Structure 1
Amino acid sequence: MAEAIYTTDAEGRITYYNRAAAELWGACPEIGKAEFCGSWKLYHPDGTPLPHNECPMAIALSERRAVRGMTAIAERPDGTQVPFLAAPTPIFDASGVLIGAVNMLMDLTEYRARDEAARRYAAIVEHSDDAIVAKDLKGIITAWNRGAERLFGYTAAEAIGKPVTMLIPADRPDEEPSILARIRLGERVEHYETTRQRKDGTHVEISLTVSPVKDERGRVIGASKIARDITERRRAEEQRRLLLREMDHRVKNMLALAGSVVSASARSETTVKGLSSAVSARLVALAQAHSLVLNPAMEGSDRGKTGTTLHALIKMILAPYREGENIPVSGADIPMGRHVISDLALLLHEFATNAAKYGALSTAGGRISIAVVEQGADIVLTWVERGGPVVKPRRKEGFGTLLVKTAISGQLGGRASYDWQRDGLTITMSIPKERLQSRS
């Protein structure tokens, strides 16, 4: 037999053992002398020494009963240890006298290895940052780890036994049947990006991998799902696309502005030398303003550490377009926190760019006036263009409009309105004073 079997007399002396028993013990005990068990040393499952006269066979003989379910560890002479399950049974003669016992030992090495692997995998699954869920072929949830609790908001008790469709938004009714159909065919669904619904009703973007679960015969009996929250990745991708759009927008604007600088300078200069000097000075000023716009972090620069005032910022951004008194700045001048300088610089740069391309700064004699007024807890900045071409509201929302909305309502926490009059555009921005002066 493949199992280890041996017998003893009534005193526990070994009277027989098969080859499997010798292999398990790693030794061949002497018949009639070795007692209770043929192993060199014995240990309890917790690793403490187990005397031979207290082993399962000794108990079966002393208590004259079969012993079941007891495990121990046999140590071979070479030091290797073998966990085993013992099943000793006492033997009686026809008159009921105890004459010995027979014991069968089952080597648990493979079972222990499988059990340890199973516990290890279970620990990995339970403590994974990803949501790991199992379901049967009817779509009923059968397992739910802590990652799933964190991602979806349901506890294991709330989720197990419920249909997995409770996680699927109402506008995606065909997803689960399609996935189950592929799983029944033994297929794997990898890196499927979709949306799921949390317990509180909010949606979360996830990357989903679904694998078939098979029984020992290879039949598909269910599926395991690994869901990873990709909200941050999606947000980063959107930010990257926004930055690329901004870069494209800024490059085109700079080329257009360079042309506007040349055209504006040509209107007021009568010599080549004067034109060259004016164009050069304005391009240098434009570059300085542009460097401010393209430095959103600010903390690493001296300007970001010392801050600036609102008037100084306005004048710096508009320096390339100034021709005498064509851009007066009036009203309250307040110090600005370093973290809002780049946001407001972007807005002013956008307004000036549009004015040079389409508005008051695109023609000779055009003017812009900027007034800053304190109204309670807000700072109201009014940008007024006059003397330019007839302006018309834009029907299509471009990147500049999106930038204005994002910067004012988002980073600056304010409001903006546009008044498209025939004689020019008026922009009114209202920003909390506390936000403008914040140092963090």
Structure 2
Amino acid sequence: DKVDHMQTVRRRKDGSLVDVSVTVSPVRDENGVVVGASKIARDISDRINADILTEHLAAIIQSSDDAIVSKDLNGIVKSWNRGAERLFGYLAEEMVGKPILILLPPDRQNEETSILERVRRGERVDHFETIRLRKDGRQVHVSVTISPIRDRTGRVIGASKVARDISERKMFEATTAAITQDLERHVRERTAELQAANKELESFTYSIAHDIRAPLRAMVTTSKVLMEDYGSELTEGAVRLLERQVGSATHLSKLVDDLLVYARLGKVAPQFAPVDLTSLARGIVSRTSSPLHTYLIEDGLAAQGDASLLHLVLQNLLDNAGKFSPNGGEITVGRAGTAFFVRDRGMGFDMAFAEKIFVPFERLVRNDDIPGTGIGLANVKRIVEKHGGSIWANSVLGEGTTIYFTIPG
């Protein structure tokens, strides 16, 4: 008998094993008697390895959590793994040989036509998010990747599809979107409420300020008239009380003015233009300088900002420098690197309170010692920050203070 294509293992000279397919045929003499055998052995190692690899790939496909499906160019299912059974609910025997259109909702049937056209052109479809139908009729959100399948000549003969269930992610995204929309609605409503409240507060503030200013001016004027016209008839105690009343009313009037400036600065937008800070500083000094002080103002100090607001910055800083160096001394306006500065040689302060000086109503000295409202430096800080800059102080007790500020651009 002939032995056909028997798969077996043989040993080479070097001792290694080789997979072979053996065909053995009898050799007969002229009388038909078997006198020997002929053997044909073929190395089938590559084929065996390929079979093993194919089995491994098939096992991987079958064990994958993702749905892995193959179809021909007409959309007919050729293979269907267990992941596809779990995702879509159909068994392999229910789908193989059937059109993939079974899985597409009526309003998405045209997707398959578009996908097959791209596959025929050899294109790959990556992470296409869509909706498919399960056997029980429920919709499932999936992310699909489709690749062309080619034969040995490179001709496209079908497509492989990997579908992943993204229902949980879509549910999370929908929930997040709903929460975000709800939060945005609440923010819009709350913002509108705050804007309305701020507008009412602003109107109330200006109304109160106007109502307070008039009686304050009357108090100051009346007190001064009494001292000027009836001073000789008043006792020293009465004069002191009137002077105290004038001082308190003047201080309160200045406080109201500073508060109004602080409130306005919260909503004002700087009008940017080239500003000559040297000229601004010299103009302020010429109108308000004290004979006790020597002013050194550097040439060429320039910035890009709002001239009226920067005027207010320099006016407050120069006023502070003068007040806090009551014994006189040198006051300098200059530049150090990218920062401008105003420096005095006055009393200075403990740097532990450096941030406190820019907070409204926070003062490091008593009003009786050095008058002030506690709003000036807060206004300066707000203006500098409106320009996108920063402000800080450096001080040594008994030696003086330097206020630095930057105006970008």
| TM-score normalised to structure 2 length | 0.46
Bigger radius of gyration among the two: 2
| TM-score when normalising by structure 1 | 0.43
**Whose helix fraction is larger, Structure 1's or Structure 2's?**
2
